[in-house]
Chains A and B, each alone.
Chain A
Amino acid sequence: MLRTKPSRRDFLKSTGVLIVSFSLPSLSKTSFAQSGTPANTGTKTVALDDVDAFLAIDSSGGVTLYSGKVDLGTGIGTALTQIVAEELDVPLAGIQVVEGDTALTPAQGKTWGSLSIQNGGVQIRQAAATARLALLQEAAKRLGAPVEDLMVEQGTVRSRSGGKQITYGELIGGKTFSLNLDKQAPLKDPATYKIVGQPVPRFDIPGKMTGQFTYMQDFKVPGMLHGRVVRPAAIGATLLSVDENSVKDVPGLVKVVRQGNFLGVVAESEWGAIRASQKLKASWSNWEGLPEQSKLWEHVRATKVNKDDVTSNVGSAEQALQQAAKRLSATYNFAIHTHASMGPSCAVAEIKEGKLTCWSSSQATHDLRQQLAAMLSMPDADVRAIYLEGSGCYGRNGHEDAAADAVLLARAVERPVRVQWMRADEHGWDPKGPPTLMDLQAGLDANGNVIAWYSQLYVPEGATGNVKLVAAELAGLPHETGMVPGNLIQNTAIPYAFPNVRTVAHRLAETPLRPSWIRAPGRMQNTFCNESFMDELAAAVGADPLEFRLRYLNDPRGVELLKRLASFAQWQSRALSGQSSSGRSLPKRDSGDIATGRGLTYIKYELARTYVGAVADVEVNRKSGEIRVKHFAVVQDCGQIVNPDGVKNQIEGNVTQTVSRVLKEEVTFDRSRVTSLNWASYPILTFPEIPDVDIELIDRPSEKPWGAGEPSAAVVPSAISNAVFDAVGVRLRSVPFTSAKVLAAMQST
């Protein structure tokens, strides 16, 4: 996808969003190569070690950034532009960004895991630094001045002592760098940054506010038809028969497409396709392969364990537990969640002269290209996958599946086809965040010191890779077979220095619904369990939850973060004199039926990067069991900050979205299919229910930039559960925290 600044909007309009124009090479003699540009050869390098894969500069000095990382609605396009503008010393408005096009952008990996700046941006920065050095060396020759004497402003190079100047456009305009990315190329001193670290307004926002932005859902190609899918009545059902007469009256119907259990319709108009998909009579076999939802956790516990991943092992936790003066144990679980993007997944596919082009909102076009090629048994080289921004994407949702649907329909009708899923397709068939179960045990010595921590997680096996495509599986075409739930075992190991620790993940042979990653996958669930149980331990010894964490935290950056959180949130000790077997007695802060409480939580993301601490303020209605999350205070240290407003936007979003997940969300299913198919049966947080969020960012300009897209989501569930305990003295160990669960917990104490 090509992004331009508002000032370049006319260019956008005139070219559509996909065609990048390149100026012809100039004739001036330079050391930059004159071949290899698209204008010359029709192909462009996308090699990760090649500067030309990332950057091009035209004769007017306009810079094009080619990014394998795509903007999923997070503002990363603007942030990456800031990095390039800073490192090259060119104006922000002079940079356009091409994202996620397998023919044009380097394969920088999936856009996931809060890595777009941390990995993608750092690669781009190094490419820009390499380019800058080469440009300065060329300028030195042309200006007859040593490189050290040169300075760059707004893409123009001149000597510090005055004299002649030359622009980037004159130096390289339209030619290639033909340079390997130089890991040693000097980077600018962060102390001199003018653009990185600034809250630069996002350049996609004006277009989005005025209906001028072209989302995937708005994209059209000439001769395009409209498709809709008709999914099986049960997940594993076989298609027995299709009555094509049932749709013969639908105006503009082009074809009913059937291949194995893949069923879809194609029509001239979108409404025609929708009507045909609703009217089409199909007969499916019965299938009842899902477990009973009311016995989900028994099912998870009874599922075959294929292997154990030991994620940390210090001392002997099992032995220490036996010797403990006091033992605590608890079981936590976290429901199945769906991505629930506001706009259903959408894609356009076109097959021309044996070559497939597919436009989608995939977070991983380079991987999707391989999957589509495999599905159609064609060479990767004959497939081009192009990213266009769609509705927000919080992990592997339905985008890739809609792409495969469009491809099969386009192939069947030999015309370009646009597919948009209906709401029930999205809620019913996007892959789900799998159910998560964790058993925790801890041992205390006679003085209240934690001497043992032992956790056992139950999650599906598999890690990262490509989630199988629904269409490929239904149609009986080549597809992946294993589960790909994401790296769910991250943050099972804990940041606290207990003498005996063992954390184990039991990897299950199956899980009820096709799994994938949803924002902070595993990190959220595991942090919920660990930080809630940590709070249980603090309560068991009558300690303040903050002070208790600091006792066991050796990481100076983590300690600083928690201390700043205490100050920022005006944390007051929850410590209680004396202790009872049921934990601390609760201070009375009730007003009528409403009890208020505060909960604190902490994460070092993946124990390797971004630090986040949060304090939640909640109200619990003792009568109804309803929880209102009133406020979140968040302190985050993600190293160098590229765009502080973008980071704050992500934190606000993480908190709000996760409060929704924690209070309300649970995918429901019967023995055959998902039954939470719209916003009535899968409600999310509404405006009157949102918390206020206050944020303090710890900026460390001279440190590496770390991810900000997910980490602050992971702290939300435990902050709320700990606050509910503070309010009413009960532990919520099962997400979502419904009123019924709150009431049940209060009645059982």
Chain B
Amino acid sequence: MPTAIPLHVNGHATRLTVDDPDMPLLYALRDNLGLHGPRFGCGLGQCGSCTVHLDGRAVRSCVTPLSAVGKKKVVTLEGLGTIDKLHPVQKAFIEEQAAQCGYCINGMIMEAAAFLASNKSPSDARIKQALARNLCRCGTHLRIVRAIKRAGAGV
């Protein structure tokens, strides 16, 4: 049965019609709303590529049922900042050239932005711990840590 579900994404209230209210949030964002930031990596909550913010907390959208979002405000990589108005974490990632393929980077930036919001000027060790559940295959870790440290020093 098609069901209408209200959703607040990147500052806009919207209404989606979906067949299955338990569809993970990821597919609503990517397929219904055409967003590219959150990415499908595993569908199991293991890698972090799909990370978005729900009321400022980093969550795995691939294992978050749409029905569980409720009135929480969703922010994706697109909503965090734009080319013309970069979030400090995005800016630092560009300055550090912290990507190879960049497929995981959505998760890295979203996780880091949520982490830095409550942790000023963290050490390398704390940054690594904060990202312990985000996976990268290209091996861009060192640049990612440098970028987060740079953003953390400036935030």
Contacts and interface: CB of A to CB of B under 8 A. Distances in A.
Contacts of B30: 218, 270
Given A209-B94, A657-B138, A690-B141, A649 B100 contact: yes
A654 B141 CA distance: 11
B6 to A, nearest CB: 19
Contacts of A392: 100-101, 103, 137-138
B76 interface: yes
A422 B140 contact: no
B42 A271 contact: no
Contacts of B81: 210
B19 A653 contact: no
Contacts of A208: 99, 102, 105
A93 to B, nearest CB: 15
A693 B41 CA distance: 27
Given A210-B83, A389-B101, A687-B132, A423 B42 contact: yes
Nearest to B20: A271
A389 to B, nearest CB: 7
Interface residues of A, number: 64
B99 A209 contact: yes
Interface string B102-142: 11111001000000000000000101110111111111111
Contacts of A37: none
Interface residues of B, number: 60
Interface string B59-89: 0000000000000000011100111001000
A690 B97 CA distance: 18
B78 A270 contact: no
B137 A684 contact: yes
Nearest to B48: A342
B39 interface: yes
Given A204-B102, A678-B42, A686-B132, A210 B138 contact: no
Contacts of B125: 688
Interface stretch (A70-78, A298-306, A480-488): A70-78
B51 interface: no
B65 to A, nearest CB: 11
Contact of A202 (B44, B97, B106, B128): B97
Contacts of B109: 209
A214 B34 CA distance: 11
A654 B140 CA distance: 9
Interface in A647-661: 649, 652-657, 660
Contacts of A496: none
B78 A679 contact: no
A206 interface: yes
A684 B133 CA distance: 11
Contacts of A275: 20
Nearest to A267: B19
Contacts of A214: 36
Contacts of B78: 210-212
B128 to A, nearest CB: 4
27 contacts: A205-B93, A209-B77, A210-B77, A210-B86, A210-B90, A211-B36, A211-B106, A212-B83, A270-B27, A271-B27, A342-B49, A342-B103, A342-B104, A342-B135, A342-B136, A343-B39, A343-B40, A344-B41, A391-B137, A392-B100, A392-B138, A657-B138, A657-B139, A660-B139, A686-B133, A688-B125, A688-B132
